[in-house]
Amino acid sequence: MIDGWARRRLEPVLAMLAVRLAAVGVSANAVTVSSLFAGLGAAAAIASGHFWTALALIVLSRLGDGLDGAVARIRGSTDFGGYIDIVFDFAYYGVIPLGFVLYDPGANGMAGAFLLFAFYVNGASFLAYAVLAEKRRMKTLERGEKSFFFTTGLAEAGETLIAFALACLYPGWFPLIAYVFAAVTLYTAAARVVLAGKVFR
């Protein structure tokens, strides 16, 4: 929901950083892989109780997630780059809740599992919509230039970042944050299914 607003404000900064990275030979795929490792490091930090470190790594990971596209626009995008971008994004979305579950399975296990379920359903609705949109040669620039059709929703990257950041700042609140955000994510998936019913019939 806030991704469009954030993208318009961050794009000039990302473009400037991308020019510098491209100038020294850094590829978009290298940025994508680095973002994944930052996300994995954040999950490891959460599991070991280092929540401020985790928060810094989460922010770094999401910065890279925006930066890889900016580098690709300079050095040239590839289908493989778009592929690993979405796969690694979903890996990040899954591993952060897993970190909280590993940190305190008794307190966080059920809420973490419910959040992962919601991410799973939402991811399926997102990717299935993209496949059918590609089949129909549909186009959108709602969230900038992407490798595939990108549907918007109530729970997007910005909202996920906020939820994960709040959980790092208030780890004892993780169950509440997870349940609330899972509900928002499932609403997003349901809204996408309704949209698909209107568009693809």
Q: pLDDT (tens digit, 9 = 90+) per residue, 125-158?
A: 989 988 888 888 777 656 455 555 667 777 788 8
For every residue of 55-109, DSSP letters joined together read HHHHHHHHHHHHHHHHHHHHH---HHHHHHHHHHHHHHHHHHHHHHHHH-HHHHH
Position 32 pLDDT exceeds 70: yes
Residue 25 is part of which domain span? 3-199
pLDDT higher for 38 or 23? 38
For every residue of 152-187, DSSP letters joined together read --SS-HHHHHHHHHHHHHSGGGHHHHHHHHHHHHHH
Give me the pLDDT at residue 48, please: 98
Q: Please check whether residue 115 is in contact with residue 182, taking contact to mean a CB–CB distance below 8 angstroms.
A: yes
Give me the pLDDT at residue 130, please: 86
Give me the pLDDT at residue 105, please: 98
Give me the pLDDT at residue 23, please: 87
Q: Residue 144 belongs to a domain with what CATH number?
A: 1.20.120.1760
Report the distance separating Cα 76 and Cα 15, nearest Å.
14
* The amino acid at 87: V
The tens digit of pLDDT for each residue in 108-127 reads 999 999 999 999 999 999 89
Q: Please check whether residue 155 is in contact with residue 122, taking contact to mean a CB–CB distance below 8 angstroms.
A: yes
Report the distance separating Cα 73 and Cα 199, nearest Å.
30
Report the distance separating Cα 177 and Cα 109, nearest Å.
13
Q: Please check whether residue 7 is in contact with residue 144, taking contact to mean a CB–CB distance below 8 angstroms.
A: yes
How many domains, in total, are found in the chain?
1
